[in-house]
Amino acid sequence: MDQHQHVAIILPHPDDEAFGCSGTILQFREKDIPVTYLCGTLGEMGRNMGNPTFANRETLSEFRKKELQDACEALDIDLQMLGYRDKTLEFEDQDEVASHLKGILDDLQPSLVITFYPGHAVHPDHNAMGAAAIEAVRRFDEEKRPEVWAKAISHNRREVLGEPDIVKDVADYFNAKMKAIEAHRSQAEGMMSQFRKSPELQELNSEGQKLLRYEEFYKWDFTK
């Protein structure tokens, strides 16, 4: 990973970066590699309103924007907010979203893009953001095209996609990762309790914890 000059993270929700790849981000930052988070929405339609609730549907976006800024500060990364609305990304024109992203990537010139694996990312916004991000990268000339690491979180990812190409044990960064997660105050407790209670995840030998410790990615193959 030392060869990377600039990393762009393209995910749709404030907190996707913290849960999904903040250990990896911290690793890059430790090596002084710049990281920019292109965050698709402000998670305006999230269900978690804090516990006990402190947000409502109309104030949630303000809280989440601040939480996102705090998390990015904790991770020491740049932030660009893309301005889409939570839950609606899959209904946007994918071509337009890809063009939007391509314009930003042309400026950033990242050597690596991290996004969700379309079709294996569970939440419709995740799948749509991943598909648009990969389409944006596909439009680069081959010699200038950044690498793409795609994050799959579906239960059947290993059966369908095989073993991930990259598995990062982020145990050394765990405390800092938890700080990034906790920066998303309105979301953290609700999400963590879901991990704890899910019968599926308990059966999978506390996969919730494993998911947080091992950050897995599939390298996207543009020749296919």
Chain residues in the site for another protein (CB under 8 A):
45, 47-53, 56-59, 61, 85, 87, 122-125, 155, 189-190, 193-194, 197-201
Closest C-alpha to 168, from 105, 110, 112: 112
Residue nearer to another protein on the CB measure, 197 or 219: 197
Residue nearer to another protein on the CB measure, 61 or 115: 61
What is the rounded CA–CA span in Å between residue 92 and residue 127? 12
Residue nearer to another protein on the CB measure, 140 or 195: 195
Distance in Å, CB of 43 to another protein, minimum: 11
Distance in Å, CB of 194 to another protein, minimum: 5
What is the rounded CA–CA span in Å between residue 32 and residue 27? 9
Distance in Å, CB of 42 to another protein, minimum: 11
Task: Specify whether the CB–CB gap between 21 and 10 falls below 8 A.
Answer: no
User: To which residue do tokens 């402190």 refer?
Assistant: 54
Computed on alpha carbons and rounded to an integer, the radius of gyration of the chain in Å comes to 16
Q: Is 85 exposed, middle or buried (0-12, 13-18, 19+ CB in 10 A)?
A: middle
Residue nearer to another protein on the CB measure, 13 or 177: 13
Q: What is each CA distance from 150 to 76, 77, 161, in whole angstroms? A: 22, 19, 11
Distance in Å, CB of 199 to another protein, minimum: 7
Closest C-alpha to 26, from 173, 125, 197, 195: 173
Residue nearer to another protein on the CB measure, 76 or 189: 189
Distance in Å, CB of 53 to another protein, minimum: 4
